[in-house]
Amino acid sequence: MEITIRHSSLDGSVRAPPSKSCTHRALFCAALAEGESRIHSPLTCDDTLATAQALSKLGVRTSWNDGHANVTRHGELKEPSGEIFCGESGTTLRFMTAICATTPHQAEISGRSSLLRRPVESLAIALGKLGADCKTNHGYPPVRVKGPIHGGSVEVPGGISSQYVSALLLAAPLAKSPLEITVIGRLESRSYVEMTVEMQSKFGVQIDAADDVTRFHSENQVYCASDVEVEGDWSSAAFLLAASAIAGENVRVEGLVQDTIQADQYLLNILKRMNARVNTDPGSVTVEKSRLEPIEVDISDSPDLFPVVCALCAVADGVSKVTGIRRLRIKESDRVLAMSNGLKEMGVKNHESHDSLTISGQSILRGATIDPHRDHRIAMAFAALGLCTNEIKIVDGECVGKSYPSFWKDLRALGADVIVA
């Protein structure tokens, strides 16, 4: 699918899609509970469908209905019939690895080629120390794992992926004896770990966490079936809010809870520091086109904001610097390289280092054909920039289905000139 976007002005309101991160965690917690759970307002996208399909291999049934999903499990987790395929979802891969390590069954977990570049070594080592037999392909998928884990103490690095910690936390209550997790170094993206603990509490599981979120303790516990509500996704809404700051008259994004644990609400802080005109109320955010000022910002705790922040910096009046980006080289694509090359195609000068990208904002951007490297967030970031060019083309536009399937439809509903071919 090739998307063409032409110079446009946005106006109106749209509802943010449900949170992908919350939906993943709700699906896993529900799968670990005996009986039937109901998830209200889940996100249905490529990644969450990959999670549901992976869990089905363990005997967990998910039925997607209008506005909710029913997740049912009767009896113990089953021995998987064949490979567990996780598509392109790193969350699915890492969480499934830990969950399968709680069972006595052999499981092989894999995915598409992009997923085979996502590291899992530290998680595999940790599970091995807890009693599981966990093998990887030189630290990468496919993963072969057999449990059960017995509990004990384990250390995991905090600077590679918070998903390692979340995966261990999901599995911890199922260990036969108490389990202690210690994070070595600074835990980046800590709010995603806090989101995991919060979701577990909704299913009757209590994790004791240190105030600095570097040590965790779990007793052997039972997940209980529950009804949970998924809130709007700040990560996906970020692209609409940025597009409005670039080319919006008066755009309101609804369904965004202000009192949220989601890390990417940090975009509000970034927009305000860049002099964007932003108004908030308890359930929505309104943004207008603004003359943006340059910024220096560390996004190590909100890495998914990197592409959208780069888009904002590209049209800011001066030189910006985005730091805390080293982990972005092991996402769906090398996001640093993908953003740097795409911006250069549009005439935006930038300089890349190991942990920063310096961007010289331009008042006039030239049209270009952008290859997002099958990365949903890269595609959506350049879509926002396309609104202030004569014309931009984005190849493989269907990749937004990974997190925000209705993105092109919503952008068009706000007045964007979007052509799908």
Distance CA 235, CA 264 (A): 5
Token duo for residue 42: 């889940």
Strands 140-146 and 133-137, by their bridges, are: antiparallel
- Residue 19: closest CA among 261, 250, 189: 261
Q: What are phi and psi of 242, to 5 degrees?
A: -65, -40
Identify which of 19, 13, 132, 5 has the alpha carbon closest to the alpha carbon of residue 414.
13
CA distances 42 to 212, 253, 348, 370, Å, are 30, 18, 38, 31
Angstrom distance (rounded) from CA 238 to CA 217: 34
The CA distance from 38 to 30, in Å, is: 8
**Residues 150/133, Cβ–Cβ less than 8 Å:** no
Per this entry, what is the length of the chain? Answer: 421
Question: 233, 264, 301, 304: which is the annotated catalytic residue?
Answer: 304
Q: Is the bond leading into 141 cis (omega within 30 degrees of zero)?
A: no
Q: Is 46 a catalytic residue?
A: no
Inter-axis angle of helices 376-386 and 335-345, nearest 10:
20
Burial of 185 (0-12, 13-18, 19+ CB in 10 A): exposed
Query: Token pair for residue 27?
Result: 């699906």
Secondary structure, 3-state, 333-376: CCHHHHHHHHHHHCCCCEEECCCEEEEECCCCCCCEEECCCCCH
Q: For the CA atoms of the chain, what is the radius of gyration?
A: 21
Q: How far is CA 180 from the centre of its chain?
A: 26
Q: Which two tokens stand for residue 225?
A: 């079936």
User: Which H or E run contains 229?
Assistant: strand 227-229
Dihedral sign for Cα 224, 230, 236, 238, please.
negative
What residue type is assigned to position 309 of the chain? V
Which residues are part of the catalytic machinery? Answer: 304
